[in-house]
Amino acid sequence: MFLHGRDADGRLRELSAQRARLRPVLGTLAAAVLDRRAFEPLGFRCLGDWSRERLGVGARTLREWARVERALAGLPLLRAAVRAGEVSWTVARKIVGVVSPESEAACLASVRGRTVRAVEVMLRAVAEPATGASEAAEENRVLVRVACPRRVAMKWAAALELARRMAGESLPTWACAEAIAAECAAAGAAVSPPPPDRCSPLHSARAPQRNAESGLRAQVWPHLAWTPPAVPGGDRLERLSHGLDRCAPRALDRRFREAIAFLQQIDIEIGRVLRQVVERKLYRELGFETFERYATERLDGSARRLVRLARAEHRAPEVATAFRAGRITLFQAEVLLRGGRVDRAERVTLRRLEDEVPEAEVAFRAPRDVAILFEAMVARVGLEAMLDHAIVTWVEAGRAFEDYADFGRDGFRCTVPACTARRNLQSHHIVFRSAGGPDRPWNRTTLCAFHDHRGVHAGRVRIRGRAPDRLVYTLGVGRFRSGDVKL
Ligand SMILES: [Zn+2]
């Protein structure tokens, strides 16, 4: 069903208003998790490990939710305007850092009714930038995208893994790409392009332009019969964020997941509407030059991700259904769009799912200088030769670690489900040495320092069985067996 620009915009405003009602709940929950470090008693090393696994949200986003909610608590006028939908959350987020209780009324008068873009211009005029340096860096990142055959994609995954092992931490993809390209650049002429007959069909392109017209004919539009998502009434929502100080970490986790499930019901609808807006260029009809400009005014954050999900709906309807029902998170859904099954995603951790379903292309956002370096090396020697060089170099360097046979067996990372730690690894005795546990491979597993000292020895995580394949891990959020499979 086709929507006209005005209809699409009206629906999106309605959906955004529903999202706005969830905001205080999400912000309060995020602040409670952060204040109490509730992820630790649940057996997670850091906020991001917990939030990615349980909510499908990154740590930075969660901190932002908490920061804005805390700031609004001291700014009653602004808070009321946000609640009433007069000021968008995106605008609130940009200005809470520069508004004080004294300047609140004046500031509110100047931003009310203004677009996000206009507020950004205003903020640039005041001395102190409202957004942090890291956020500005994030916004300046460019997309690097290289299509490649599956064989090369597997090498890409291997090179990322090795880069993280070498660094001893879970580097972001762009930092791995920088290491891969730098390794190749350092080798100079030693890495040469493959002979022409071996050239893989590579091309590098920034965000390939879709042909909207041909795309339209081939696509199936989901039926957009307008039934607003069944987000519960105020009482039920309020209940989720009430009495949090008396809430045990496990209950906090459950409430947060419930709130995220409501958010996902709204977001899937937002994705459907936005997909029409972007593919049929309805934003022009509404007076915006680009989709990004339009999306910024109506939504915070994840517009492109929701459009991708909506686009995949006809080829993977079960993913959209599971997402809408809150059975899988956005991160899980994104992996499943590359392949894999919903029931598998429900049974294993996100980190296992990501290992099982490799990327089918090389795509990441990177600071401009890293993107330039990476693309230059791809142009000079080809993606595959560059990856081969990094892999050979790092496998060679990794031989120095071979004394640590357990680490190699366990993939140079902590074996506790969903843990992303690769640093300060230690060999842990499953039956403690003090309890007569033998120093044999089956009684040893690799743990990060947190999971050794503050997990197992603090009683937050329990490990039983035989390494490597027959271990059972008990965390605050449930039990898992080796390989991150839920029990
Ligand atoms: Zn760990």
Ligand 1: centre distance to CA 449 (Å): 7
45 alpha carbon to ligand 1 midpoint, in Å? 6
In 3D, which of 261, 221, 219 has the Cα closest to residue 240?
261
CB 54 within 8 A of CB 39: no
Q: At residue 122, what is the residue type?
A: M
Predicted local distance difference test score (pLDDT) of residue 191 = 73
What are the residue ranges spanned by the domains of the chain?
Answer: 5-132+209-352, 149-201+367-400, 405-486
Read off the pLDDT band of 186 (50, 70, 90): confident
Q: What is the arithmetic mean of pLDDT over 73-97?
A: 90
Question: Ligand 1 centroid vs 456 CA: distance in angstroms?
Answer: 10
Q: How much is the pLDDT for 138? A: 65
Residue 219 has pLDDT above 60, yes or no: no
What average pLDDT does range 30-48 have in this prediction?
96
- If you measure from the C-alpha of residue 480 to the centroid of ligand 1, how many angstroms do you get, rounded to a whole number? 14
**Would you state the pLDDT for residue 118?**
86
pLDDT category at 404 given cuts 50, 70, 90 is low
pLDDT at position 222 is 47
What is the enclosing helix (H) or strand (E) of 428? strand 426-429
CA dist list (Å): 16 to 226, 295, 462: 15, 11, 42
- Between the CA of 31 and the centroid of ligand 1 the distance, in Å, is 24
pLDDT tens by residue, 277-297: 999 999 999 899 999 889 988
Rounded CA-CA distance 151/198 in Å is 13
Query: For 179-184, what is the mean pLDDT?
Result: 90
Distance 415 CA to ligand 1 centre (A): 7
Q: Is a pLDDT exceeding 80 seen at residue 200?
A: no
Distance 170 CA to ligand 1 centre (A): 12
Q: How far apart are CA 48 and CA 61, in angstroms?
A: 10
Residue among 336, 302, 375 nearest 143 (CA): 375
Give the DSSP H or E segment for 470.
strand 470-475
In 3D space, the residue among 253, 161, 485 whose CA is nearest the CA of residue 349 turns out to be 485
CA of 330 to the centre of ligand 1 (A): 23
Give the Å distances, CA to CA, from 330 to 265, 307, 324, 348, 477: 11, 12, 10, 15, 19
For the ranges 34-43, 102-111, 197-206, 227-236, the maximum mean pLDDT occurs at: 34-43
Using left for φ > 0, alpha for ψ between -120 and 50, and beta otherwise, residue 202 falls in: beta
Task: Identify the band that residue 141 occupies on the pLDDT scale cut at 50, 70 and 90.
Answer: confident
The pLDDT of residue 37: 96
Predicted local confidence at residue 231, as pLDDT: 62
Q: Give the least confident one: 174-183, 226-235, 258-267, 354-363.
A: 226-235
Of 21-25, 96-100, 209-213, least confident by mean pLDDT is 209-213
pLDDT at res. 134: 59
Residue 199 has pLDDT above 60, yes or no: no
Kindly tell me if the per-residue pLDDT of 482 is higher than 80: yes
Decide if pLDDT at 207 tops 50.
no
Average pLDDT of 324-341?
A: 92
Distance (angstroms) between ligand 1 centre and the Cα of 353 equals: 18
* 187 Cα–ligand 1 center, Å: 35
Least confident of 396-400, 416-420, 436-440, 475-479: 396-400
The stretch 363-373 carries a mean pLDDT of: 92
Q: Is the pLDDT of residue 121 over 90?
A: no
Q: How far away, in angstroms, is 44 Cα from ligand 1 center?
A: 7
For the purposes of burial, counting CB atoms within 10 Å of the CB of 440, is it exposed (0-12), middle (13-18) or buried (19 or more)?
exposed
Determine the distance separating the centroid of ligand 1 and the alpha carbon of 162, expressed in angstroms: 18
- pLDDT value of residue 411: 83
Distance 49 CA to ligand 1 centre (A): 9
Least confident of 12-16, 184-188, 239-243, 346-350: 184-188
Which is nearest to 178 in space by CA: 193, 165, 202, 160?
160
pLDDT band at 133 (very low <50, low <70, confident <90, very high): low
Average pLDDT (121-144) is: 69
Q: Evaluate whether 71 touches 97 at the Cβ level (below 8 Å).
A: yes
- Residue 169 CA, ligand 1 centroid: distance in Å: 11
- Percent of the chain at pLDDT exceeding 90: 51
Euclidean distance between CA atoms 352 and 418, whole angstroms: 8
CA of residue 183 to ligand 1 center, whole Å: 29
Average pLDDT, rounded, for the chain: 85
Percent of the chain whose pLDDT exceeds 70: 86
Band of pLDDT at residue 150, cut at 50, 70 and 90: confident
CA 104–ligand 1 middle distance (angstroms): 44
Question: Given this model, what pLDDT does residue 297 score?
Answer: 87
- Whether 85 has a pLDDT exceeding 60, the answer reads yes
Predicted pLDDT of residue 209: 37
Question: What is the Å distance from ligand 1's center to 423 Cα?
Answer: 9
For the record, the structure tokens of 436 come out as: 């007569």
φ/ψ bin of 15: left (φ > 0), alpha (ψ from -120 to 50), beta (otherwise)? alpha
214, pLDDT greater than 50:
no
pLDDT of res. 198: 44
**Rounded distance from Cα 349 to ligand 1 centre (Å):** 14
Overall pTM surpassing 0.95 (yes/no): no
Q: How far, in Å, from the CA of 447 to the mean position of ligand 1? A: 5
Tokens read off for 380? 């000079």
Tell me how far the alpha carbon of residue 39 lies from the centroid of ligand 1, in angstroms.
13
- The residue-averaged pLDDT of 200-229 equals 42
pLDDT band at 58 (very low <50, low <70, confident <90, very high): very high
For residue 346, report the distance from its CA to the centre of ligand 1, in Å: 21
Å from CA of 395 to ligand 1 middle: 24
Best CA proximity match to 108, nearest among 67, 68, 80:
80
Distance from Cα 418 to the centre of ligand 1, integer Å: 8
